[in-house]
Amino acid sequence: MGRTAMLIWLAGGALFAATPFEAEIASWRHAREAALTADGGWLTVTGRFPLHEGDNRFGGAASNDIVLPDGPPHAGAFTLDDNRVTVRMEGVTRAVRPNSADEFRVGRLGLSVFGAAGSYSVRMKDPQSRIRRDFHAIEYYPAREEYRVTAQFFPAPHRIAESLCPGYVVFRLLGRELRLYPMMEQPNAKVLLLVFRDPTTGKETYGGGRFLDLELPPDGAVVLDFNKAYNPPCAFTPFVSCPLPPRQNRLPVRLEAGEKKYRH
């Protein structure tokens, strides 16, 4: 049997050997890394520029408030006026919706505005980012079905820091009854975000904690699959700020599942 035929035979055998659970986790990991490395993905975020009151000029010239690595010397200006943001480009001024999909193209770059009243910044994405170019594969714990559990969701709306928490989930894992409090990143979001830490945090896993997504449960029951626990964007780029795990989400058991620490 030739080398090529042998490789095809081995690959086919591996696919048939994988259980549906293993195949699902492998597919999730592939999609996760594809999204991370895509054009416009988190690895392209290479700049963050706080906006000050008044005009914030941007372009390639050193005289700008925001100096860009591509585009014309004077591309335009973001104006902050009493917590209202506008952008002026090519002689046209229009309103900016912070934290939206609005993106303004300057050469190969994408600029967007995010933040909250009193603290807005411009985020720059560059498809030629060194962070993206130097990316290497993420390390994972082995996929294990015991880390996929069914939890019960209990509505109890309140706030954690500046985020809305619609309630909490209770589940059993590793012989313990545990509780976590998800956050709602946007009003009426259908997917909630769990930000948690455990005894692996800062050792085998990222020091700022890890994320886990879960769909808003329609009937009180929800599946938590910690094999899909992932690093926040700030684990990959220093130009992003991420929410830290609240005190309520500090778990006492080692969750040896999901993504490990990304080593630059």
* Residue 6 within a domain: no
In the chain, how many domains are there? 2
Last residue of a domain, one of 133, 164, 196: 133
Closest listed residue to residue 214, CA positions, set 167, 156, 157: 167
**Residue 107's CATH number:** 2.60.200
Backbone angles phi, psi at 13, to 5 degrees: -65, -40
**pLDDT of amino acid 132:** 96
| Domain span including residue 94 | 42-133
Q: Residue 137 is which amino acid? A: A
pLDDT tens track for 2-61: 444 543 444 444 445 579 999 999 999 999 999 999 999 999 999 999 999 999 999 999
Provide the β-strand partners of residue 196: 210
Tell me the C-alpha distance between 160 and 29, whole Å: 29
Same domain for 177 and 224, yes or no, is yes
* Residue 36 within a domain: no
Same domain for 118 and 152, yes or no, is no
Same domain for 110 and 83, yes or no, is yes
* Residue 78 within a domain: yes
Q: Residue 65 is which amino acid? A: D
3-state secondary structure the chain: CCHHHHHHHHHHHHHHHCCHHHHHHHHHHHHHHHHHHCCCCHHHEEEEEECCCEEEEEECCCCCCEECCCCCCCCEEEEEECCEEEEEECCEEEECCCCCCCCEEECCEEEEEEEECCEEEEEEECCCCHHHHCCCCCCECCCCHHHEEEEEEEEEEEEECCEEEEEEEEEEECCEEEEECCEECCCCCCEEEEEEECCCECCCECCCCEEEEEECCCCCEEEEEHHHCECCHHHCCCCCCCCCCCHHHECCCCCCCCECCCCC
Q: What is the pTM of this model?
A: 0.87
Same domain for 169 and 216, yes or no, is yes
Tell me the C-alpha distance between 190 and 185, whole Å: 10
Closest listed residue to residue 226, CA positions, set 263, 192, 254: 254
* Residue 167 within a domain: yes
Same domain for 160 and 240, yes or no, is yes
Q: Which residue has the tokens 């050997």?
A: 17
pLDDT tens track for 57-95: 999 999 999 999 999 999 999 999 999 999 999 999 999
Same domain for 222 and 169, yes or no, is yes
Last residue of a domain, one of 133, 156, 171: 133
Which segment of 164-173, 199-208, 209-218, 241-250 scores lowest on mean pLDDT? 209-218
Same domain for 158 and 108, yes or no, is no
* Residue 187 within a domain: yes
Closest listed residue to residue 201, CA positions, set 255, 147, 132: 255
pLDDT at 1 over 80: no
**pLDDT of amino acid 9:** 46
**pLDDT of amino acid 218:** 65
Q: First and final CA of the chain: distance in angstroms? A: 40
Last residue of a domain, one of 70, 102, 133: 133
Tell me the C-alpha distance between 133 and 55, whole Å: 33
Same domain for 165 and 97, yes or no, is no
**pLDDT of amino acid 217:** 72
Same domain for 148 and 99, yes or no, is no
Residue 161 pLDDT level (bands cut at 50, 70, 90): confident
